Structure 1
């Protein structure tokens, strides 16, 4: 059986290290990890280009206390990868002392140079975020119960 190309594995190792140490200052290195025309999509955003992707991360740092990612698992298959992660943060406007955890995953496609050309995040915004917001959380839990009844 032929060996996997080590370049995607090495690129994913570097990317995971960068994600887990992400800070406003480290955003300057985004171009080392994403192609200039990379696409990014999550439940709230769909953008293209490193400037737009950096803007999403900048907004995250502006809106939340101590946001950080913890990569809990990774699967690499050729030039694509799936990362399972926990996103840990504290809200600035409410429950500012309580650490929140959003669990999700990212499907990444790599360009031939090992940089990300397509990044799609998957996570349940209703369960992982809306249910934690005062007022809205009660409504979301009620809707969930009604949907399964």
Structure 2
């Protein structure tokens, strides 16, 4: 099984893995970026996932598309694959359900992911679920849409 297949399998249900399983897809010098922060190295990524696992009751990704952008040796950028997904997250503390669409850019070298960058609407994931702030953000989005 190649690294992209292993990646898709792990992300099927993040709550069913251990942080050590991440070493089967990510290199020791992985650069993992999301809209909140950047994690450098497998140790930081494992710590990030450990924290997620303590807060999430369920975290599943429905992967819709995997696009190959370039071969490793032909790549002028660090991105070799683009993955489109829908995340379904249920938090333990309040059983809140969050559904979020996103895209991930991956860089693969020697069957190992060395670069991972997530793109998603942080407002949709976090801010819209804060009681008063969520109301305000939804109103602003509504005004901008009309």
TM-score band w.r.t. shorter chain: 0.7 to 0.9
Offset, 1:21: 3.6
Gapped runs of 5+ residues in structure 1?
A: 1-8
Whether the aligned pair in 2 keeps the contact of 1:24 and 1:58 (CA below 8 Å) is no
Unaligned runs of 5+ in 2: 73-79
Match of 1:10 in 2: 2
Structure-2 residue corresponding to 1:86: 86
1:38 paired residue number:
30
Give the alignment of 1:88-127 within 5 angstroms. Answer: 88-94=88-94, 96=95, 98-111=96-109, 113-127=110-124
Q: CA RMSD in A?
A: 2.1
Give the structure 2 partner of residue 132 of structure 1. 129
- Whether the 8 Å contact between 1:103 and 1:128 is mirrored in structure 2 is no
Q: Indicate the residue corresponding to 2:45 in structure 1.
A: 53
Show CA shifts across 1:70-127 (max 9, x none).
2121101323111111111123343x1x53211101000011x211111000001113
Separation in 1, partners of 2:145, 2:17:
45
User: Which TM-score applies when normalising by structure 2?
Assistant: 0.82
Of 118, 140, 144, 1:143 maps to 140
- Among 11, 14, 20, the alignment partner of 1:28 is 20
2-structure distance, mates of 1:91, 1:114:
33
TM superposition score normalised by structure 1: 0.80
Within 1, Cα distance between the matches of 2:90 and 2:5? Answer: 27
Give the count of matched residue pairs: 138
Shift, 1:60, TM fit: 1.2
- Match of 2:99, SS? strand
